[in-house]
Structures are given as structure tokens and as C-alpha cells.
């Protein structure tokens, strides 16, 4: 057991150092997915980039495992660890919007709802998370599909620069002009190369009002409606962002009584442009005679928050993300059949989603970023959500079964931001891209200090994983 005192770290640290036994400890170690129950030896809640530097150097010197927490939304629980140090970026909340230059800088602890609020004050946005409590960090470095990606690409495609703390504690600014290799790697390579303490994004005009919303149909009409949706989505302009979902119709006053509380087919849509132009673009969906038509003008921030009620923290979750190059009739039938089963297994929050994702994402050259999977037209996203730990085995089996059935129609590549399994990292990249990422790992983190993630191992790991950990049960820790 390491007994090194924390005095060196404490002397340089402006944020909060939280140890086991601290009244704040248990709340501070909790992450979005309640299935994750880990006990770090130390939580370093950073207030500045300098704090991150101190925490990284302390971890490197002691051999502690390192988890980096932004929003804590990783379904695999990468934002917390057992017996190591959590570098919590919650205090890095600065946001600076350059409305004239259409860019924004945001600290690594900023959440998408916070960034959306700041940019929408100027009628601007960048593609971001569909749940407002998602952190900008893991979302962006893992790629980042947002509702406006159909028109403006992934979050990582809109990254202009990033401040990164490397494994040796060095701070660099990465962009197309400086540390371009690192900049390439953090756009799709996740947190493998350092801790991003500040993001600079390109902004686009949109809002504050947009044409968006949700329509619902009874499940018996789902095969007909989803086939029509697919044909519509395949031909839709880039301004149309849309998804199909099997969901439990919510107990809201605007939901018809015959749908409320029952599995239903939903179609979500956002027109990324002038709402006046959007009405004609979404008319084919309205012509499908939904039982609930909740598509109209609303604030962009309201649409961005529309899924928040279906994704509360403190529930148990299992997600997957599988790419589909096309959406065949067989895939639709399988999606609907097993989606209904999943929703009935664990209402009211479990759901099956298919996003239309091609469009502007496909237009970015494959070698422009480390993000590799740009050929797919659809992304399948099963979401199993439940409350009781006694249901873990059953719900994990249900979520995995749904995903495996749909993998028959997939291209074999996962979206890592939605993937808890560590053994699928290689599948997410082309062989050339993966080899290039390993080269970057060798250059920037040869000891694999940053390994509690969707890990890209260096070609010659140093064996840090075998080093001792702090014992969180010991008062000396």
C-alpha cells in the first residue's frame, strides 16, 4: 500500500481534495449510471488547469489509476475508479462566447445545457449532447452526435482548438496549426492522450426558436410508419435531423389517453434552419397522421432538454451504439419487435432508438480526424433503464439480446460513446487509423496513465496497471 502523504499535492491545489470519510465523498464518487459503484482513494475536484496539472503529476508519481470526470455520463463509468484518483473537472466552468467570430471557449467541466444557454443568448450553437447534463469533454473527444450534426457535423468536427494536460503534466494548445497530430487524435480518440481542460468550438447560427418536436403512433401502425420514415429520411435534406424510437408514451396531458403508458412509435425531428422553411420539409411526417403531433416552433434549448426526463441520474443503465449502413425492412421489423419487448420489460424509461446520422457527417474526409465511422446512414441505440439492482441480470440480458439481434444488420463497428464493452475498441477504427492512434499513444502517453477509458494501449505498456493502489479503507489514505 502506498502511504505517500498528500502534502505536496495539497500545497499546490486550489480546488477540493475529497478523501474517504469526507461527508462529500459518496455523493462525489457517484456517476450517472447507478450500476457503477466504485471507491476512489482520492477525488481531486479541480478549480483550474493548474489543479489538473498537479493531480496528473501526483498520479504519475504515485502510480495511482486515473479516472477523468467531466459530466460523469459514461455508461461504462469511466469517470470513477477503485483505489485511484478521480480528476474531477467540475470546477472548470468558464464559458466565453465570441459572437462576432462565431466561436466559444468552454472549460472541461461544462455541461451541454450550460454551453447551449450561453451560445443561444447570441442565437448561436454547436452540435452537442441530446441530454443537457452530458459533459462536453467525453462527448466531443469520442466524436459527438448531436441533433444538428446532420447539417454541421460532429462535435469533434467543430472543434477549433483544445488545451490539453499531457501525462507528464505539460500543458499544450492543440489545433490544426499546433500539435496537429494530437489535435487529430483527440477528435475521436477519446481521453487516451491527455486531459482536455478547455475546448474552443466553431458556432453556427440557429434559434432561439426552431421547428422541432415529437410525433407518436400506436405500435400496431409502426411497421408502416417506420418504413415511410426511412424512405423520407433517406431523401431528406441535411437540414432535417430525425430519429425513430420505440418508447413508453409519457403520462403528459398532451398525450392521448389511448397511448398514455403504452409502448408507442415516436418520430423526433428538428429542422436545422429557419422554422418558416422547416414546416414544408417536415410535412411528410405530419401526413402520416400521427395520433400525437407535437411538432412545432419551440426554443432550441427546450428541444435540447426534451430527453432529460427520460435520462435521470441515479438509475441503472445499459446502452449500445451500432452502425447501420442502411435500414432494411428486416432491420425495421427486428427493431420494432425487440424494442417493444425491451420497453415492456422495463417501463417507463427504456427505449430503442434509430438515428438518421449520415448527411454532413459523411462529407468530412475520413482521415481528417481520428473518428472513423463516417459511412453509416443510421445509428441503432438501445437504452435499457431500470431502478432495482435485483433486475440487473435480466435487464442486461434484455439489452444485450436486442443489440445482438440488430447486429445482424450492422456493419460491425460500435459507437464508443455508447459502448460499455472494452473489447470493441479496435472495431471502432479502420486498421490505419488504429495504428496511427497507437503511435500517438506511444508519443504522448507511453505508460498508459490515461487507460480508464475506451483504451488504446501503447505498443509497449510499462506495466503501471500492476503498481499498488491506495487502500481506501485505511485511515492513512
Show the cell assigned to 124. Answer: 448561436
pLDDT of 372:
86
In terms of Cα–Cα distance, which of 209, 250, 25, 52 is closest to 120? 209
Output the CA–CA distances (angstroms, integers) from residue 285 to 229, 248, 280, 282, 306, in the order listed: 7, 20, 10, 6, 19
CA atoms within 13 A on the CB side of 416: 29
Provide the b/e sequence for 236-249 (b: ≥16 CB within 10 Å).
bebbbbbbbbbbbb
Enclosing H/E stretch for 67: strand 66-69
The CATH architecture of the domain made up of 209-359+368-423 is 3-Layer(aba) Sandwich (3.40)
Q: State the DSSP code for 60.
A: H
pLDDT of 351:
97
Enumerate the domain spans of the chain. 12-91, 95-205, 209-359+368-423
| φ/ψ (deg, to 5) at 296 | -170, -170
Q: In what order do the strands lie in the sheet with 42-45?
A: 16-18, 42-45, 85-88, 66-69
Q: Is the pTM of this model over 0.85?
A: yes
Show the cell assigned to 419. Answer: 459502448
pLDDT of 24:
97
The CATH architecture of the domain made up of 95-205 is 2-Layer Sandwich (3.30)
Q: Which residues of the chain have pLDDT under 70?
A: 1-5, 461-477
The CATH architecture of the domain made up of 12-91 is 2-Layer Sandwich (3.30)
pLDDT of 462:
57
pLDDT of 252:
87
What does the alpha-carbon distance between residue 391 and residue 379 come to, in Å, rounded to a whole number? 27
Amino acid at each position: 500500500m502506498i502511504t505517500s502523504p498528500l502534502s505536496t499535492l495539497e500545497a499546490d491545489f486550489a480546488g477540493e481534495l475529497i478523501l474517504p470519510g469526507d461527508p462529500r465523498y459518496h455523493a462525489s464518487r457517484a456517476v450517472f449510471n447507478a450500476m457503477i459503484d466504485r471507491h476512489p482513494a482520492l477525488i481531486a475536484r479541480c478549480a483550474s488547469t493548474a489543479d489538473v496539472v498537479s493531480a496528473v503529476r501526483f498520479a504519475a508519481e504515485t502510480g495511482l489509476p486515473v479516472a477523468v470526470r467531466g459530466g460523469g455520463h459514461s455508461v461504462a463509468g469511466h469517470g470513477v475508479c477503485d483505489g485511484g484518483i478521480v480528476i474531477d473537472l467540475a470546477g472548470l466552468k468558464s464559458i466565453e462566447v465570441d459572437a462576432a467570430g462565431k466561436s466559444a471557449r468552454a472549460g472541461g467541466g461544462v455541461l451541454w445545457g450550460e454551453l447551449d444557454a450561453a451560445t443561444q443568448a447570441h442565437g448561436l450553437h454547436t452540435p452537442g449532447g441530446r441530454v443537457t447534463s452530458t459533459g462536453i469533454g467525453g462527448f466531443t473527444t469520442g466524436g459527438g452526435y448531436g441533433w444538428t450534426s446532420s447539417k454541421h457535423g460532429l462535435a469533434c468536427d467543430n472543434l477549433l482548438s483544445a488545451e490539453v494536460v499531457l501525462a507528464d503534466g505539460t500543458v499544450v494548445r492543440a489545433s490544426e496549426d499546433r500539435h496537429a497530430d494530437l489535435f487529430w487524435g483527440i477528435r475521436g480518440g477519446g481521453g487516451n492522450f491527455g486531459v482536455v481542460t478547455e475546448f474552443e468550438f466553431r458556432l453556427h447560427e440557429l434559434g432561439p426558436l426552431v421547428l422541432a418536436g415529437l410525433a407518436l403512433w400506436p405500435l400496431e401502425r409502426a411497421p408502416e410508419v417506420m418504413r415511410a420514415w426511412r424512405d423520407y429520411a433517406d431523401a431528406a435534406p441535411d437540414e432535417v435531423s430525425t430519429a425513430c424510437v420505440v418508447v413508453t408514451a409519457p403520462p403528459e396531458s398532451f398525450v392521448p389517453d389511448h397511448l398514455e403508458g403504452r409502448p408507442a412509435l415516436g418520430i423526433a425531428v428538428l429542422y436545422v434552419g429557419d422554422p418558416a422553411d422547416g414546416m414544408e420539409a417536415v410535412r411528410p411526417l405530419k401526413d402520416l397522421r400521427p395520433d400525437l403531433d407535437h411538432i412545432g416552433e419551440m426554443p432550441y434549448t427546450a428541444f435540447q432538454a426534451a430527453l432529460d426526463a427520460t435520462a435521470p441520474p441515479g438509475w441503472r443503465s445499459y446502452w449500445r451504439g451500432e452502425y447501420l449502413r442502411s435500414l432494411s425492412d428486416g432491420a425495421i421489423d427486428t427493431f420494432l419487435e425487440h424494442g417493444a419487448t425491451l420497453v415492456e420489460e422495463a417501463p417507463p424509461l427504456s427505449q430503442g432508438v434509430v438515428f438518421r446520422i449520415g448527411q454532413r457527417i459523411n462529407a468530412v474526409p475520413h482521415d481528417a480526424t481520428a473518428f472513423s465511422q463516417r459511412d453509416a446512414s443510421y445509428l441503432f441505440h438501445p437504452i435499457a433503464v431500470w431502478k432495482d439492482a435485483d433486475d440487473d441480470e435480466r435487464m442486461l440480458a434484455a439489452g444485450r439480446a436486442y443489440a445482438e439481434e440488430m447486429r445482424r444488420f450492422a456493419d460491425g463497428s460500435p459507437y464508443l460513446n455508447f459502448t460499455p464493452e472494452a473489447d470493441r475498441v479496435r472495431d471502432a477504427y479502420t486498421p490505419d487509423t488504429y495504428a496511427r492512434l497507437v503511435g500517438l499513444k506511444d508519443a504522448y502517453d507511453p505508460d498508459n496513465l490515461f487507460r480508464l477509458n475506451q483504451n488504446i494501449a501503447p505498443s509497449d505498456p510499462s506495466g503501471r496497471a500492476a503498481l499498488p493502489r491506495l487502500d481506501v479503507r485505511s485511515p492513512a489514505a
